[in-house]
Structure 1
Amino acid sequence: MNELFTSQRTLGVTFSDAGACVRVWAPLVENVALHHFGLNQIIPLQNEGSYWKTTTDLLKPDDRYTFVLNGKVERPDPASLAQPEGVHGPSQAVDTTAFVWTDAEWKNVPLEDYLIYELHTGTFTPEGTFAGIETKLDYLVELGINAIEIMPVAQFPGSRNWGYDGVCPYAVQKSYGGAAGLQKLVDACHRKGLAVVLDVVYNHMGPEGNYFTDFGPYFTSKYQTPWGQAINFDDNYSDSVRRYFIENLLMWFRDFHIDALRLDAAHAIHDNSDLHILREFKQYTNLLMTQTGRQHYLIIESDLNEPRFIRPIAADGYGMDAQWNDEFHHALRVTAGGERSGYYADYDGIRHLAKAYRDAYVYDGAYMPRRAKVVGKSTADHPGRQFIVFSQNHDQIGNRMLGERPAELVSFSMQKLMAGAVMSSPYLPMLFMGEEWGELNPFLYFVSHSDMALIEAVREGRKREFAAFHTTDEAPDPQDEQTFQKSKLQWDLLTKEPHQTLFRYYQALLALRKHSPLRHPNRETVAVIMDETQQTLQLLRQRPQQIADEVPIVCLMNFSTQPQLLTLPASREPWQKLLDSADPQWLGPVAAPSLVAGDASVFVQAESILIYKSSHV
């Protein structure tokens, strides 16, 4: 490993006492020069193997520049930190060391304690900026979460996009506030006790403004992804491509003080080399942590159900710290009465939900009809903190044609039950922005491309995507600005009912998660009993026996539309109620008893959750 990568960024433009150091990888071109826009001057770069480099005192922070390849082609810097005129315009030099941090005392939240809140910068607040997010930090602390997860911020075409069409992985979206705006937000989060997770995309680049092939073989035809050719992590010239992404990953941790990265669609990161790029990411992250003393986590999204991704390096794994578990969501969604078309067709409801509580993966070596093959492997040796679960996220809402949230699809009582099902799991819970008050606006797919052919291709792609759901409705136009505007949160709902009550209910749930045995994401002591006829599920949560001050908790869930009588587990002492989603204080029909005898039965109201703890201490 190259220790220089962890101490400083070497690609693009960096500043030191010697001036601006400029370095760009362009192995197949004959000459490279820097075009300084302010001086209208061409500065030649010297060849250094497959890299081109110069040091100059002419280029200052905030100056704009491009690279001129072979005296003809003029392109933005592939490692640009700012694109003030968009993805097609000149790059802007940025000195990330100029920001004055105040978080020297900050310590990352232990992974097992993460309570995550996913948000999209452009739609989370009316301003749609990092500064807008900063105005809501006190609200998030009041809610009870301790980590925010920000959808991708790498520069994308135009001013509105989910972020997965980014084409400048080092540049922070200008319309959000740029590099300094993100640094300021992270610093403010740390002052409030909030960790920051950043979503990054290392499996593909967006199509518009993608000039990488002009510089070198960043892509390979060996593999195809849903977005085209795969990024070149193991073909000819791959060493420098790997360096590009390793430096990018380290930059977020070191220069922006990001606490964790969520790697999008890791299953589409193709690498058959002896050292998988994910494993190398982990090795460099470990090296950085030993140098800085700061804790960082790597979280992946993957649909392969392959534990090797989250297995420690010492056990021949890739060493990722955790992963999103979509299968828990799918099983919960079907159990809550959702449709069974498209990818939901592989999930049968409460039986699969019970399996997800026990085993994390639903398909862990079982035949999956939609893929027509056996999928997955056992997660037996993996702790609960390695799985992140949710009742909604940007994909599961936004990939619906009309972007409906659960508040539009299920009853108020079912929303409370689904939230309780997530919060009581032996995994790490995640909320999606606005779910805590039952946001009614959709979260739609939106873009702001400038290429008309691409715009039409995106529209047609959305239509094909929903063919499996057999709908006759028209998909909203992703390019239409109104599609974006309709996706913004309605903060005024917090002053209205039932939204205000739902917010207080989420507060109670998060507080319970923090201050009871629910806070420990341990799977080894979980017991699950489900009844398909009743549509009920009992979840017994407790810490290992050697921890004497921890008491068992039982979560009784009724997904049916009728009250169901359930018998509590045998106990020498009465069971004491901790939470009751059917209580009138949460706008429910009737409250369950506060104390229940050790082996008595209790009615669980329709579409509700009851949580009791043993009262022997």
Structure 2
Amino acid sequence: MTATQPLKPGVSFDSGQADISLWAPLAEAAALFLPDKNQTLALQPAAPGYWRLQTYQLQPGDLYWFVLNGEARRPDPASLSQPEGVHGPSQALDLKNFPWTDEGWRGIPLEEYILYELHTGTFTDEGTFAGIESRLAYLKELGINAIELMPCAQFPGGRNWGYDGVYPFAVQDSYGGARGLQQLVDACHRQGIAVVLDVVLNHLGPEGNYLGEFGPAFTDKYTTPWGRALNFDDAWCDGMRQLFIENVLMWFRDFHIDALRLDAVHAIKDFSPDHLLREMKRRVDELVQETGRPFYLIAECDLNDTKFIDPLHKRGYGMDAQWVDEFHHALRVTATGEQSGYYSDFTGIAHLAKSYQDAFVYTGEFSPHRKKRFGEPPVHNPGHQFVVFSQNHDQIGNRMLGDRISQLVSAEMLKLLPAAVFVSPFLPLLFMGEEWGETAPFLYFVSHTDPGLAEAVREGRKREFSYFSGQGDPPDPTDEATFRQSKLQWNLRGQEPHQTLLRYYQALIRLRRQHPVLRRPDRSCVQVGHNEAQQTLWLFRECGEERVLCLMNFSKTPQSVPVPALSEPWRLLFDSADPQWNGPAASPAVLENGREVTLQPESILIYDQRYE
């Protein structure tokens, strides 16, 4: 390693020796304090901005602090474990010691992902990685092949969505820590399930955030919804860039994570010639070459800007895929008519039809909500670069009462919505519990230990929903009861109508995974049309010798629609209104070309046809 290269941050072990590096560019002295031995070891200046020490005095399992300029003791910004919480000492770990059994695992191609987003703390009664592991057989039977964990970086207390993490490298101790996450990933791979981890690169939480004491971790050049931006292009930014790039590599290399969902990348402020995401993608590609395993980067981005998902050779940032909130918004408005807030930008079924075609709804048109032209068309981006959903943690939890779709629409619409997702030429994502129509809310919750901060969160939530004053105050985010209300009710699976809805999801996912057209997220052979007056939409897709026709009725009354005139009749694959799914009536098993078919209210019919 040359003198100008940044060091790998934190503590690692080689042949029993600890290699310790610390980014603290403005410090005059740096030391390591071992509380159990009451021993202080000086670090020496290394690469620009770094301090380093190699010692046998620190061993795996030991607690330690960093001391800057002989003053206050602070946890390691690159700590791998915080067993005493965000204000306590760090704990040294050797991640290489885990006994992996997934040597034969080569991942799942991204285009085959069926994603299932879950929150570790509320997915099971245990609220741990071990609890998730106990449900893997269920997820496998459901048809899921990729679980997506909401953020697991160490946060204050034991209850949090995860976006208040302050130690990017440390796995939440109350979930099971690093060992528990490694064990879960290993178990998932044995079941043929990939693991996606949600990580936050755009901000740190407010409590236990000591990073700014080590150096210029934040910059006054930009602001974000969370305050000052992390420093990725200002003075001394090299160490910050290295910190987060190494964090991404750690999840892939040391935890065998298959993909990362990068939270709100539009809030990463970086105007350097080589954007942080580009540099990150190159380093990940190098790791792919070293290991022979695919690793994917999936961005959350609301800019409708294809440079985030365009490949590196086209000067893009190289993200493998991104979430598409606009598909959700268009689908939600079509299903419910709700048009408050950002939903005001969406007209309903016309925009849903556009999203089936273009992924983005706004591709350069004027956005009334933003009061400007917005977006660009993703002309050359394949379907597997877009993740779509009918609900997710944001779209539920950011409502005042955390109400799920199951509490907002009819039983028939509850079946139409996921079908509309699964027939799309994009990657489908479910949110935990939707498959049985979970009725428990998913509320916003925190467990800050700072009373002043907890009160600020409580009051901020009240202000956010002040326009709902007639409905009372939002649930207290700091109350443990709010967290417990958000736990899944697994017993519902055995009760009606939840049991039938679960079977419906299983059949729908099986059709998506097995049908030669539906299983390929191919945008190149998609045709779509809609009837505003009827609130109907048809979607035509083909691949090789197979054609698929999807007919959707979002209205509350039966609608007659014409069948496209082709040479062969259409055979029925799936009918959401069939009595086996507690629907009102079955539809014809075969459709003759040029005829009309009656769509039941709030239903979908899926037909296919082979070329002869």
Question: What TM-score, normalized by structure 2, do the two folds share?
Answer: 0.98
Alignment of 1:142-181 (within 5 A): 142-181=141-180
CA distance 1:403–1:430, change in 2 (3 Å): same
Alignment of 1:595-606 (within 5 A): 595-606=590-601
What is the CA distance between 1:18 and its match in structure 2?
5.3
Equivalents in 1 of 2:439, 2:468: separation in Å? 22
**Pairwise CA RMSD:** 1.5
Equivalents in 2 of 1:488, 1:322: separation in Å? 29
What is the CA distance between 1:430 and its match in structure 2?
0.3
Q: Does 1:591 align with 2:586?
A: yes
Alignment-derived partner of residue 536 in structure 2 = 536
Contact 1:398/1:444 (8 A) holds in 2? yes
Alignment-derived partner of residue 486 in structure 1 = 485
Contact 1:576/1:615 (8 A) holds in 2? no
Alignment of 1:57-68 (within 5 A): 57-68=56-67
Contact 1:34/1:44 (8 A) holds in 2? yes
Equivalents in 1 of 2:502, 2:289: separation in Å? 40
Alignment of 1:404-443 (within 5 A): 404-443=403-442
Equivalents in 2 of 1:467, 1:566: separation in Å? 44
Alignment-derived partner of residue 29 in structure 1 = 27
Equivalents in 2 of 1:475, 1:438: separation in Å? 23
Q: Secondary structure at the match of 1:108?
A: coil
Alignment of 1:134-213 (within 5 A): 134-213=133-212
The partner residue of 1:20 within 14, 18, 21 is 18
Equivalents in 1 of 2:382, 2:26: separation in Å? 47
Equivalents in 2 of 1:528, 1:51: separation in Å? 56
**What runs of 5+ residues in structure 1 fail to find an aligned partner?**
none
Equivalents in 2 of 1:50, 1:298: separation in Å? 29
Equivalents in 1 of 2:540, 2:493: separation in Å? 33
Q: State the identity as a percent.
A: 62
**What amino acid is the match of 1:46?**
Q
Q: Secondary structure at the match of 1:336?
A: helix
What is the CA distance between 1:10 and its match in structure 2?
2.6
CA distance 1:469–1:386, change in 2 (3 Å): farther
Equivalents in 1 of 2:168, 2:218: separation in Å? 15
Alignment of 1:108-507 (within 5 A): 108-467=107-466, 472-507=471-506
Question: What TM-score, normalized by structure 1, do the two folds share?
Answer: 0.97
Q: Secondary structure at the match of 1:283?
A: helix
Contact 1:161/1:446 (8 A) holds in 2? yes
CA distance 1:322–1:471, change in 2 (3 Å): farther
**What amino acid is the match of 1:521?**
P
Contact 2:106/2:292 (8 A) holds in 1? no
**What amino acid is the match of 2:340?**
S
**What amino acid is the match of 1:486?**
Q
Q: Secondary structure at the match of 1:542?
A: strand
What is the CA distance between 1:465 and its match in structure 2?
2.7
Equivalents in 1 of 2:477, 2:594: separation in Å? 55
Equivalents in 2 of 1:616, 1:602: separation in Å? 22
**What amino acid is the match of 1:538?**
W
User: Residue deviations 1:89-139, cap 9 Å, x none?
Assistant: 000001100101111110111111111000000000110000000000000
Contact 1:341/1:468 (8 A) holds in 2? no
Equivalents in 2 of 1:175, 1:551: separation in Å? 49
What is the CA distance between 1:596 and its match in structure 2?
1.3
Q: Secondary structure at the match of 2:518?
A: helix
Contact 1:117/1:432 (8 A) holds in 2? yes
**What amino acid is the match of 2:350?**
R
Equivalents in 1 of 2:8, 2:270: separation in Å? 24
**What amino acid is the match of 1:72?**
E
Q: Secondary structure at the match of 2:83?
A: coil
The partner residue of 1:562 within 553, 557, 560 is 557
Alignment-derived partner of residue 93 in structure 2 = 94
Equivalents in 2 of 1:478, 1:220: separation in Å? 30
Q: Structure 1 segments of 4 or more deviating over 4 A? A: 467-472
Contact 1:342/1:469 (8 A) holds in 2? no
Equivalents in 2 of 1:443, 1:394: separation in Å? 7
Alignment-derived partner of residue 518 in structure 2 = 518
Greater alpha carbon shift after TM alignment, 396-405 vs 63-72? 63-72
Contact 1:541/1:552 (8 A) holds in 2? yes
What is the CA distance between 1:466 and its match in structure 2?
2.9
Q: Secondary structure at the match of 1:403?
A: coil
**What runs of 5+ residues in structure 2 fail to find an aligned partner?**
none
What is the CA distance between 1:5 and its match in structure 2?
10
Greater alpha carbon shift after TM alignment, 390-399 vs 572-581? 572-581
Greater alpha carbon shift after TM alignment, 201-210 vs 54-63? 54-63
Equivalents in 1 of 2:462, 2:527: separation in Å? 43
What is the CA distance between 1:469 and its match in structure 2?
6.7
Equivalents in 1 of 2:472, 2:346: separation in Å? 24
Contact 1:5/1:247 (8 A) holds in 2? no
What is the CA distance between 1:54 and its match in structure 2?
1.0
Contact 2:63/2:91 (8 A) holds in 1? yes
What is the CA distance between 1:464 and its match in structure 2?
3.1
What is the CA distance between 1:461 and its match in structure 2?
2.1
Alignment of 1:541-556 (within 5 A): 541-543=541-543, 547=544, 550-556=545-551
Contact 2:43/2:53 (8 A) holds in 1? yes
**What amino acid is the match of 1:536?**
T
Q: Secondary structure at the match of 2:435?
A: helix
Equivalents in 1 of 2:332, 2:232: separation in Å? 36
Matched residue pairs, number? Answer: 609
Contact 2:324/2:388 (8 A) holds in 1? yes
Q: Secondary structure at the match of 2:336?
A: coil
Q: Secondary structure at the match of 2:332?
A: helix
**What amino acid is the match of 2:528?**
V
Q: Does 1:42 align with 2:37?
A: no
